[in-house]
């Protein structure tokens, strides 16, 4: 199976372990993720103001390129990229004014590229025909969790993991159509298929504080701490997530938690692709735990998983 893949900025740098494990696991599962030859930033946030339509250009261009390359699907991993690409695509598909304006804008853009000697697409209208898939959806719907489970060499037996969804995968639900917004299951199903024990914690769909960790750090810290404590009280060894922003707030920021929350005990946080790579028996070199603040190795050793 071959699918076009959009990485986004963060996976190429600050959370390269997410991309490395995702690509290695896909290869092991027989999925060829082909990185788009030209990609730009998706914009990171979906432009919500009705007057800032120009902010739709970046995701529109990405989606149009996928369509012009002859594909009707696009896989991405970062929750923010997924949210922006999916919502932009839906807006283009459902709103004829936005569709027309984006296509007109890109025609000008194509002419400028052509004038500078660059290769451009065929100048066809793009109508939002690409299906944007998150990597988890790719595993469930394109490959099948049961097929994934058959490739597991080292079931994560005894590892008690609390899935954490955050915001951008699930919401707004009418546009994302990812899972039940109040009681999602996809991460739990994923964990069961790689042999881990699922721990449900009540804060799994709460916000981690997002960009407030820079602009209002005390608020973000409170939210992230609530999520970690909720997972701990529910009996989890670790948290599993998919978003690089959540990883920053829930994992990297634990470094500061000790001084703000007396008695705080650090908790390992995994990207779901790291657990997948581990279960598929891939070379531990690929896991990239050296980028983590809380080293998960002692926990994995205790559970005899490394």
Partner 1 sequence: MRTEISADKVKGDFLEKVEELSGQSIWACYQCGCCSSGCPVAEEMDLLPNQVIRYVQLGLEEELLSSKTIWLCASCFQCFSRCPRGIDISKIMDALRQMAMEGGVDRFGPVEISPSELAKAPQQVLVTVVRKLSA
Q: Is 184 in the site for partner 1 (CB under 8 A)?
A: no
Taking 3-state DSSP, the helix, strand and coil percentages for the chain, each rounded to the nearest 5, stand at 50, 10, 40
Name the residue among 251, 226, 232 with its Cα closest to residue 241.
251
**Sole binder of partner 1 in the list 107, 141, 219, 284 (CB under 8 A):** 219
Cα 209 to Cα 184, 223, 276, distances in angstroms: 20, 6, 26
**Two tokens, residue 289:** 């735990």
Pick between residue 57 and residue 223 the one whose CB is nearest to partner 1: 223
Pick between residue 244 and residue 296 the one whose CB is nearest to partner 1: 244
- Strands ordered across the beta sheet of 131-134: 32-35, 2-6, 73-76, 131-134
Rounded Cα distance, 209 and 217, in Å: 8
Q: Is 116 in the site for partner 1 (CB under 8 A)?
A: no
Pick between residue 12 and residue 301 the one whose CB is nearest to partner 1: 12
Q: Is 73 in the site for partner 1 (CB under 8 A)?
A: no
CB atoms within 10 A of CB 301: 10
Pick between residue 13 and residue 146 the one whose CB is nearest to partner 1: 13
Mark out the alpha helices in 9-78 (DSSP H runs).
Answer: 16-28, 57-68
Rounded Cα distance, 258 and 266, in Å: 8
Q: Is 273 in the site for partner 1 (CB under 8 A)?
A: no
Rounded Cα distance, 225 and 287, in Å: 25
**Sole binder of partner 1 in the list 110, 189, 206, 229 (CB under 8 A):** 206
Pick between residue 126 and residue 203 the one whose CB is nearest to partner 1: 203
Residues in the chain: 306
Residues 147-176 interacting with partner 1 (rule: CB under 8 A): 167, 170-173
Rounded Cα distance, 239 and 217, in Å: 21
We find the least distance from the C-beta atom of residue 80 to partner 1, in angstroms, to be: 5
Q: Is 207 in the site for partner 1 (CB under 8 A)?
A: yes
We find the least distance from the C-beta atom of residue 193 to partner 1, in angstroms, to be: 27
Pick between residue 43 and residue 163 the one whose CB is nearest to partner 1: 43
**Sole binder of partner 1 in the list 4, 6, 7, 15 (CB under 8 A):** 15
Per CB under 8 A, which region of 121-129, 148-156, 239-247, 270-278 contacts partner 1?
A: 239-247
**Two tokens, residue 22:** 């995702």
CB atoms within 10 A of CB 115: 9
**Rule CB under 8 A: which residues touch partner 1?**
8-10, 13-15, 41, 43-45, 48-52, 78, 80-81, 167, 170-173, 181, 205-207, 209-216, 218-220, 222-223, 244-245, 247-248, 252
């Amino acid at each position: 199976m071959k699918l076009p893949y959009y990485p986004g900025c963060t996976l190429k740098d600050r959370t390269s372990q997410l991309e490395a494990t995702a690509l290695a696991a896909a290869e092991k599962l027989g999925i060829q993720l082909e990185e788009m030859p030209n990609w730009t930033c998706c914009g990171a946030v979906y432009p919500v103001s009705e007057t800032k339509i120009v902010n739709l250009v970046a995701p529109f261009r990405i989606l149009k390129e996928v369509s012009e390359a002859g594909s009707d699907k696009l896989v991405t991993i970062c929750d923010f990229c997924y949210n922006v690409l999916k919502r932009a695509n839906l807006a283009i598909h459902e709103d004829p004014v936005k569709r027309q304006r984006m296509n007109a804008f890109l025609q000008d853009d194509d002419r400028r590229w052509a004038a500078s000697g660059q290769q451009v697409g065929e100048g066809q209208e793009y109508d939002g025909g690409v299906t944007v898939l998150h990597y988890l959806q790719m595993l469930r719907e394109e490959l099948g969790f049961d097929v994934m489970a058959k490739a597991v060499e080292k079931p994560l037996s005894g590892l008690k993991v609390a899935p954490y969804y955050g915001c951008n995968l699930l919401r707004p639900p009418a546009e994302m159509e990812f899972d039940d917004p109040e009681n999602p299951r996809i991460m739990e199903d994923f964990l069961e298929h790689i042999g881990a024990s699922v721990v449900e914690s009540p804060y799994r769909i709460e916000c981690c504080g997002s960009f407030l960790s820079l602009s209002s750090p005390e608020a973000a810290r409170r939210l992230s701490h609530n999520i970690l404590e909720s997972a701990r009280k529910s009996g989890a060894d670790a948290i599993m997530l998919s978003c690089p922003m959540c990883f920053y707030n829930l994992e990297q920021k634990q470094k500061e938690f000790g001084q703000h929350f007396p008695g705080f005990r650090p908790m390992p946080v995994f990207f779901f692709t790291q657990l997948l790579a581990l279960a598929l028996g891939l070379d531990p070199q690929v896991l990239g735990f050296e980028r983590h603040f809380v080293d998960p190795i002692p926990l994995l050793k205790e559970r005899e998983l490394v």
